[in-house]
Amino acid sequence: MADVEKGSSSSDPSQSDDMADLAPIISPEMRKEYEEAGVPLKLTPSHPEQDDDPNLLQRVRTAISIASETIGTPKQLEFTKSGQALPAFGGGKPFPPLVQNRESYVVEFDGPNDPIHPQNYALLKKVKIMSILGFATFSAAWGSSIFSSATLVVSEKFHVSDVVAILGMSLYVLGFASGPLVWAPFSELSGRRKPMIIGNLGFSVFNLAVARAYDLQTVLICRFFAGFFGAANLTVVPAAFADIFGNRWRGTAMVIFSSAVFCGPLIAPVVGAFMVHSYLGWRWTEYLTMIMGFVATALTIVFIDETYAPVVLVEKAALLRRATGNWSIHARQEQVELDFKELIEKNFTRPVRMLVSEPILLLITIYTAFVYGILYLLLEAYPIIFIEGYGMTSTVGMLPYIGMVVGELLGCGIVLLFEPRVLAAIAANGNRPVPEMRLEATMIGGSILPIGMFWLTWCGAYPEHVHWMAPTASGVFIGAGIILIFLSCITYLVESYLMFAASAVAANTVLRSAFGAGFPLFATAMFHNLGVQWAGTLLGCIGLLLAPVPFLFYKYGRSLRKASKYAPDI
């Protein structure tokens, strides 16, 4: 983070001489937006010594920039957006005079060690929050693929082709793509807790609807909305982890989140296959997912406190208003007025503009989208290799996914091994992010993923000559490659764009979810028509073409960020 200048006296008597100046640490575009909207670029600390606390200033920058870039710049509520005359005050009363020195009525945290700030929660509380949110994320990811074990049964029951039945999985992933466009701004307006509760509840209800459906259109529609509501966890949980963990532990928390996102889709088909071919039947794959969703809902309601710092201050302000009877006390978040036009621009048009104009975002998004598509494509390719090729039963043929799960867990361990190097680079850079350091793990993943694809398909194409353990073992390389590429690339995007990270991740989410939805639809035809080995060769070669991406950005990324109008100069 750039050095922060100390503010001098201000024309506003409510502002002290010890104010921290935020202007040097935000981009010129954002500074102009703040000035036009009348947003102060000064922070009045609760204690003078906070001026020198980089964590406090980083929290302030994060809170202001995320809110601005997601829901728009704060507007003062004394004016209507239409510019029309205000209605009468009522009761024959004239309008009261404006509160003088309004800044003195705005609540703040009581220093960098204030216990109500989410980053100051006790370790046990942080672990509890992380465990519950990790389970909720795992449940949403689980729901995306457990339907794959039921597609053959569903196609027979409703008399449709296998490709039409696979739409049940693809539409769910499309729900993942559209959901963040709603849940991201909602979480910045109302905090993390509400969208997670609503999302988990909706996820559970629509999975129940799928389980009880007696026609295909109900199955497909409800699968989409189950994915849409389940996307609340995929969108909000990383933000909640960022709320409670600082630079030192945020990488570890993101590893746990990513393991839930990627292990869930691989474990679910194994469990689902045994359920579908037991007395329980295919409907119980959805009943089980519904139960997991309701458990996540209950745990969130009972045990999860609000983690978004601006909304924590809203709660503090409400408490102080009731206790003191002084109704002028408020939090900055209560000054924010929703501007629908600005909301559309921040969450729809800006991600598209960034995607087409930013080389870093475009290439990283294409890379992660391809990897995400491979994950869901393999849900259709593995049965072709192990059930059709090796003649395994529909249940045993799902067990090779365990090789990929092992690989993903191994990949998570490799990412954690790189954390000390990343933290050392951050410390040497004045406690500012060094995004390119995240790409070292991506280089490893990009090298081993194509190897795993060639290994899987060339061994799996000759079941009469190659033991089934050979293609199963390839899953270790594939799983590790997927997690190393995806996790490191997403972290790289976040640290590259900082205040525009929400828009960058939104663009990435939409495109990668589109790939995840589309790849399974052509997987069966591709592997049958080209042959297992040549289909795998095609995918492996695309992986090889994309493998230089992290190497290029490792060398030229800093120069590209300096030339970008969205990436801050760090």
Give the model confidence (pLDDT) of 32-74 as tens digits: 544 544 444 444 343 433 444 444 444 444 444 444 444 444 4
Is 70 exceeded by the pLDDT of residue 147?
A: yes
Q: Is residue 375 within 8 Å of residue 148, measured between CB atoms?
A: no
Contacts of 113 (CB under 8 A, 6+ apart): 120
Q: Is residue 346 within 8 Å of residue 122, measured between CB atoms?
A: no
| 20 membership: H or E segment, kind and range | strand 20-21
Model pTM score: 0.78
What mean pLDDT, rounded, does the chain reach?
Answer: 81
DSSP assignment of 132-171: HHHHHHHHHHHHHHGGGGGHHHHHHHTT--HHHHHHHHHH
Strand partners, 106: 330
Work out the pLDDT band at 139, boundaries 50, 70, 90.
very high
Name the residue among 470, 446, 450, 480 with its Cα closest to residue 385: 470
Contacts of 91 (CB under 8 A, 6+ apart): none
Give the model confidence (pLDDT) of 327-345 as tens digits: 888 888 877 766 677 667 6
Under DSSP, is residue 417 helix (H, G, I), strand (E, B) or coil?
helix
**pLDDT of res. 325:** 87
The stretch 228-256 carries a mean pLDDT of 82
The owner of tokens 């039921």 is 150
Work out the pLDDT band at 262, boundaries 50, 70, 90.
confident
**pLDDT of res. 63:** 46
Work out the pLDDT band at 10, boundaries 50, 70, 90.
very low
